[in-house]
Amino acid sequence: MGKPRMDNWTLLFASAAHDSDPGFRESLRSVMQQGLYWAGMIGLVNTFCYVAINVLVLDRPMALTPEPPVEQSVVLLIDDVYMVVVSLLYLLLGWKGCSLRAGRILTALVLLLGGAVMLYDDILYGRTIQSPGFISMIYMVAVIAIPFRPLQVLALGVGIAGIIVSPTLIGAVHMLEHLPVIGVAAALMTGISVLLYNNRWSEYSARRETQKALDEHQLLLNTTQEVGNIGGWQLDLVDDTLSCTRQIYRIYERSPETTITFDTLSAPIRDGANATFRSAVSRCIQTGEPFELELPLDVGRGKWVEVRGSAVRRDGEVVEVAGTLQDVTNRHSMEAELRSGRATIRSLYGAMENLLRARSRADVAVQIERLVRDTLAYPITAIRFFENGILVPVDQSGQVHENGQGSENGSIWPSYHITGDSYVAEAYCTGETLHVRETWIGTPSGTDAPPVRSMVYVPLAGHGVISVGSHEPDGITDLDVQLLEILAGNAAVVLDRTHQVQALVAAKEQAEEANRLKSVFLANMRHEIRTPLTSIIGFAEMIGETQCEDASRGENTDILHFSRLIEKSGKRLFQTLNSVLDFSRLEAGSMPIQPAPVDVCDEVAFVVEEYQEKAGEAGVNLVLDLPATEVDMTVDRGALRRILDSLLSNAVKFTDVDGTVTVRVHTESDNVLIDVEDTGIGIDDAFVPYLFEAFRQESTGVSRDYQGNGLGLAIAHRLAVLMEGRIDVETAKDEGTCFTVVLPRTHAVPVGD
């Protein structure tokens, strides 16, 4: 609980316990000092009035000292001189000032001395000096002796006066005669004391409230400085002194009793920063330019401080430089760590390119080890890959150890089974990083390498585990653990890619082998089937020619019929074989395309002419619609004829008797368009997306309505694409189909081998 509140009246009855309050004591000292001054003034006036009234008005005689027999009406100068001396002493002390203790001791001595003189006079002469001035002076002394108990002192003064005058009845009677004078003096002194207390207590209360507010603000300021680790300094250019707050003493690790000057403030600033600081202060004094510096301080283990300063002007001149000094060691360390971390991240991402270019697991292991060693600066690294349920270590050359042990940086790294009890297996199975901040892994005997004191195990997303160690307890930072996780993530991506690449390489090799076997098969088929098939067709034609004459006479008609069937089927088989071979060459990209200038109208007319007989046999009208002028373009003549042959063959095949097939040529911008339009059976919309796929036909099965191998449109489409063109189709079921070949007019670069 706080101290009890006191007002002006309770002050009059205050006890000695309030002396513990420094502010209260200061207030009492001020009251006592003024009381001494006014007591001296009253004493002088009282003595002067007493002597003047008795001598001038009452015409009483004066004597220096009492000589028996002394008349009661004699004015003794000894007590009046004593009164004047004491009053002058009071005036001097009240004017010059004295401590509360000294004032109390002085007034107590005066009181005792006065009492001793009275008792001596009483014993020596058998009577008491009853000078009212002297008695009022005694009361005045008592009041000043204990100024914060005026009412108690009043009782004390009356008691003392009673004791002094009590030895003789005459003294008591004489005191009663002077009681009005004594009462006036007592009332005057008591009133003055109360007034002094009231005035000083009001001042004390105001000062106390002000001091309380100042103390609160000072506490807040001190707390702020301690929390922010910041202090204030002030360089007085007039007095050439430096003032500092307590926090600067703490920052400089100096005792508050010591003195900090500008030289001692700047002396611990190390390196060239000392000259920089002095130059900034000098420039601030000369020009008023403020400054803000971050300086290294050679105090304790080394600190960094941020110093700010600005000029204080008076009458246009710089008279002070004031500022702050803050300990920013932690911030500087964090910024240094942040810069180091950023540099590490930049280095890591820069070195990550080599990891991303790795083509095998061995390359990945080598790059990880280099990144951890050179970029993150950890000397202990082990990479283990999953092999048949075992995590097998890889040495620095990237080779997996078959015996399950490998040496790295003086340590033996064993293999671990994924079902075993180990950090490596746990990290692999859980897929989570394990950070062992405190451990002890010994090194093989005969080596000088220190033991491993901390480890981190980072999984490689099912491929293995990266183990990184340090010789220091908790020697792997959290930032580096995060970087290792990023590294492991990228390494896992690279390992996935290398696995996929290896699978693709294997598939490519298998495909190349299959393609080689296919090429061998096609070459054999070309030789083993095409050659005898050509002979069969040739012999069938010869038999037919020799039997025509006999058949005209009605002889050997069956032989002629069979020979023509053999010839027809052979040509069909020969055409199928050529289509298969051509399609295989197109798929392999080995079909040669040799563009050359041609007249499209001539080429189209040539192919249409070849199909006139076939169309006539099928009862189909074949119409050719050509422009009046030549249409020149650069195209492979053979490929163009093959495209037209496939389209016309299908148009005639799928057009009923009395139907019409129209072939027209026209141009559009830089393209040449060739339409092959029929009035045949059309194509179902659902089959249109598969129209140009190989071996796909709308009617399938042995009993299908139309014969064919399903390669004609596929070959035509691929040839058009090879010549940088396309084939568009418009069709309607039971109404007909129109194929449009779109080819560029120029095609200068040969395609294929």
| pLDDT tens, residue by residue, 235-252 | 998 888 898 888 888 888
CB of 304 within 8 A of CB of 329? yes
Give the separation between CA 137 and CA 143, rounded to whole angstroms. Answer: 10
Whole-structure pTM value: 0.40
Q: Residue 469 and residue 455: Cα distance in Å, rounded? A: 4
Per-residue pLDDT, 708: 55
Grouping H, G, I as helix, E, B as strand and the rest as coil, residue 322 is: strand
Q: What's the pLDDT at 599?
A: 92
Whether the link from the prior residue into 69 is cis, omega within 30° of 0, is yes
Model pLDDT, residue 714: 83
Q: What domains can you pick out in the chain, each with its CATH number?
A: 8-207 (no CATH), 229-327 (3.30.450.20), 592-744 (3.30.565.10)
For residue 618, what are the contacts with CB-CB under 8 A and spacing of at least 6? 652, 653, 655, 657
Q: What is the pLDDT of residue 10?
A: 44
By DSSP bridging, strand 464-470 and strand 621-625 are unpaired
**pLDDT reported for residue 295:** 87
CA gap 544, 547 in Å, rounded: 5
Tell me which residue of 713, 725, 718 sits closest to 752, measured CA to CA: 718
Write out the two tokens for 556. Answer: 């050997």
Which parts of the chain sit beneath pLDDT 50?
1-13, 70-71, 124, 126-136, 139, 142-172, 396-411, 701-704, 748-753
Convert the pLDDT of each residue in 485-515 to its tens digit. 888 888 888 888 888 888 888 888 888 888 7
Model pLDDT, residue 501: 83
Look up residue 654 and give its two tokens.
């799928």
373 to each of 115, 466, 695, how far by Cα in Å? 99, 13, 60
What pLDDT does 16 receive?
54
At 136 the pLDDT is 47
